Amino acid sequence: MTDVSDTQTSAEHTDSDAELPPYINREHSLLEFNRRVLAQANNESIPLLERLKYLCISSSNMDEFFEVRLASLHELQDDPGAVTQPDQQSPQTVIDSLSAVAHDIVEEQYHTLNHVLIPALRKENIRFLRRTHWDDVQKNWLSDYFKDSLQPVLSAVGLDPSHPFPKVLNKSLNFIVSLEGKDAFGRSNGLAIVPVPRSLPRIIKLPPEATDGENDFVFLSSILHANVSRLFPGMTVTGCYQFRVTRNTNLFIDEEEVDDLMSALRGELSSRQYGGAIRLEVADNCPQHMIDYLMDRFNLNEQALYKVNGPVNLHRLNTVPDMANRNDLQFPPYQQKNLISQKAQPKGALRLFTRQKNRESLFDRISKQDVLLHHPYDSFNPVVDFLREASADKDVLAIRMTLYRTGEDSAIIKALEKAAQNGKEVTAVVELRARFDEDNNILQATRLQDAGVHVVYGVVGYKTHAKMILVVRRENGRIRYYTHMGTGNYHHITTRFYSDFGLMTANQAIGRDSSKIFQQLTSLGDTKDLEALLQSPFTLKSGMIERIQREAENARQGVSARIIAKMNGLDDQDIIDALYQASQAGVQIDLIVRGICSLRPGVSGLSENIRVTSIIGRFLEHHRIYYFQNSTGKPELFCSSADWMRRNLVSRVETCFPILNQQCFQKVYTEGLAIYLEDNQGAWQLHPDGHYHLKTNNTAPPFNAQTALIENYSGN
């Protein structure tokens, strides 16, 4: 493994680098991230059905890009003085430049589907049958399927003055149909819209009686095309073309003006599906006059038009891997550990929680030594066990917890309900505004309130994104705190494929700080003099900048200086400027940034000592880890719920916690940072021009950090 004092050569740069603007536009960086995801779909070293999943992920990412990020830029156009941050460009300038990149990515997605993945899948006898290739048996079966399963739930809308153009749901599948002849009332309509309910599958697997192939699939759109005339008896269908509109899904709530955030949010969610149109996807063979008609209906221009050769929602292909039942074409299954293996954990570290009836109390174990969990390699079960034991422990007085995303049927929610029913004082800070999880969070908040949990919704104007559990326990007549802090959500599904650290500690300074933060979130009183934790929007940003500046000063004094940071995104200008100054002072800086990065590395005179790596792999890299070498001989290492993004540091409630136990320190440093700097298989390096290239080392053997961690935790 790389030693903490090791450095790497700086990224290559040219004389023209000095002409580059100091900051990379965040939306451009986001699209670059999606290029890296899409590249996985073309990577032949990855199992074939996993490559199809990456294509689906890239499609879902693009959807979110349009309905959130591009939509936000369109909103900024209403402000004549608005500029993007941190690159200071006009919204329209950015929209124009993003359009060309987004069109290029979408074109590459469909090229990957049609010319790479479908042919490769066909070789594995996983076939997508086009209408022109159906035999008579298949035609008859699919005709019956349409009659029995599709037609009863389809509602075609013929367009006339009493049947105006229907409201089209965000990202829903629709067909525009051209017609000839008279309808039942003797009139000529000419056009109709057929909305397709979301409840219908977009991919249908043919049964054995309809095909001789084990894995033959048909697109729902093909079935509808072949049978659409049945929806218009007495008329002739002359054309049928799929389309989909992507809308602005940002919510508009003036939190200062509402009395009840939950009620206001419920009302706003119902309108999310009908926000302003941002993008129109349409079949590439659709006649221009029909495209023009649709663009006029949605008030869109040519820039917002995407002609596609295939299904308009590639994400719905994500059902194919499960239906195909070809485990040999997917990643080998990985069994999460309920114990921290001796190989994965430094010698002498605690072995975690077996389910023996007479096992030692978790509180006794945590009180002896901090326990560190590394998900998804370690199971999330110990966190649930921690809450379950607290809910039943007679000495536990109170449980407090933040909830950002939990998922449905959450064991966490059940444990909190049980604790309240057992008479514990339970407080849950539920963030209702977690994007796209608002409905579920409202449901979970209501459940908790019904069980007797004291539920608050965080702070007006500040999303509560911190990940904290605080258990207050009476031991020998004294109050003692037990705390869990994490870099990721308390979500039992995402912990299986998001990489995150979670710390269980009986450190009383961390416990007291956590108690103060919870009191702040409920009473809204001031939190002062935190002993161990950094908190946004108060001390986290300044605490990080202070440490960056300390490394810079050490470098100026000729002392070895080093910063390694891992996060999901980086766009805060003050942080970037501090890193630029540290680089110029001689600090060696490695940033491992999965997604958005507005910092421009490797520029002579600005950032030649900064390297930026992005890891794309089987698991989604989600850690937030910050390492500072510190010339005192006591390097500092923090984990956090916060990225170095302006939103995290300025407009959210976040926590950043130190790793104080030496064994946990070494584990976080090794497994969270050093191992990723050695990766030459799943790592991409950001170049000064804003583009990424696979990071290779021809002198070193192939090394993949995630694979190494899987093998390590598996005992191989």
705: part of which helix (H) or strand (E)? helix 705-714
Sheet holding 236-247, edge to edge: 157-158, 191-195, 174-180, 236-247, 277-283, 305-308
- Binding site residue list: 61, 405, 435, 498, 594, 622
Centroid of chain to Cα 156: 36
Q: Reply yes or no on whether 465 is catalytic.
A: yes
292: part of which helix (H) or strand (E)? helix 288-298
- Cα 571 to Cα 34, 346, 389, 548, 647: the distances in Å are 17, 35, 40, 16, 9
Q: Angle at the Cα of 586 (from 581 to 587), degrees rounded to 5?
A: 80
Centroid of chain to Cα 414: 25
Question: Given the DSSP bridges, would you call strands 396-403 and 534-536 parallel, antiparallel or unpaired?
Answer: unpaired
In this structure, is the dihedral angle defined by the CA atoms of residues 490, 496, 498 and 499, taken in order, positive or negative? positive
Q: What does 84-153 look like in DSSP terms, one character per residue?
A: -TTT---HHHHHHHHHHHHHHHHHHHHHHIIIIIHHHHHHTTEEE--GGG--HHHHHHHHHHIIIIIGGG
Distance CA 637, CA 627 (A): 5
- Binding site residue list for ATP: 61, 498, 594, 622
Q: What are phi and psi of 652, to 5 degrees?
A: -135, 155
* Burial label, 323 (beta-carbon count in 10 A; 0-12, 13-18, 19+): middle
- Binding site residue list for Mg(2+): 405, 435
Q: What is the 3-state secondary structure (H, E, C) of 345-411?
A: CCCCCCCCCCCCCCCCCHHHHHHHCCEEEEECCECCHHHHHHHHHHHHCCCEEEEEEEECCCCCCCH
**Per-residue tokens: 238:** 């002359």
Residue of 13, 315, 465, 491 marked catalytic? 465
**Per-residue tokens: 68:** 């959130």
Q: Angle at the Cα of 632 (from 630 to 634), degrees rounded to 5?
A: 70
Reported as half-sphere exposure (CB side, CA atoms, 13 A), residue 530 has a value of: 25
- Cα 577 to Cα 548, 570, 582: the distances in Å are 10, 12, 9
Q: What does 578-592 look like in DSSP terms, one character per residue?
A: HHHHHHHHT-EEEEE
Using the 8-state DSSP alphabet, how is residue 648 labeled?
H
Specify which residues 312 forms β-bridges with. Answer: none
Is residue 52 within 8 A of residue 109, CB to CB? The reply is no
Q: What is the CA radius of gyration of the chain?
A: 28
* Burial label, 601 (beta-carbon count in 10 A; 0-12, 13-18, 19+): buried
Strands (E), 454-537: 454-456, 463-464, 468-475, 478-486, 498-505, 534-536
H helical segments located in 535-623: 540-556, 573-585
Query: Side chain identity at 454, as an amino acid letter?
Result: H
Reference 403, options 388, 415, 385; nearest CA is 415
Long-range contacts of 155-164 (CB under 8 A, 24+ apart): 155/194, 155/195, 156/192, 156/193, 156/194, 156/231, 156/232, 157/192, 157/193, 157/194, 157/195, 158/183, 158/189, 158/191, 158/192, 158/232, 159/189, 159/190, 159/191, 159/192, 159/193, 160/187, 160/189
Is residue 613 within 8 A of residue 695, CB to CB? The reply is yes
**Per-residue tokens: 582:** 């540290």
Is residue 465 within 8 A of residue 437, CB to CB? The reply is no
Give the position of tokens 């390492």.
Answer: 627
- State the catalytic residues: 465
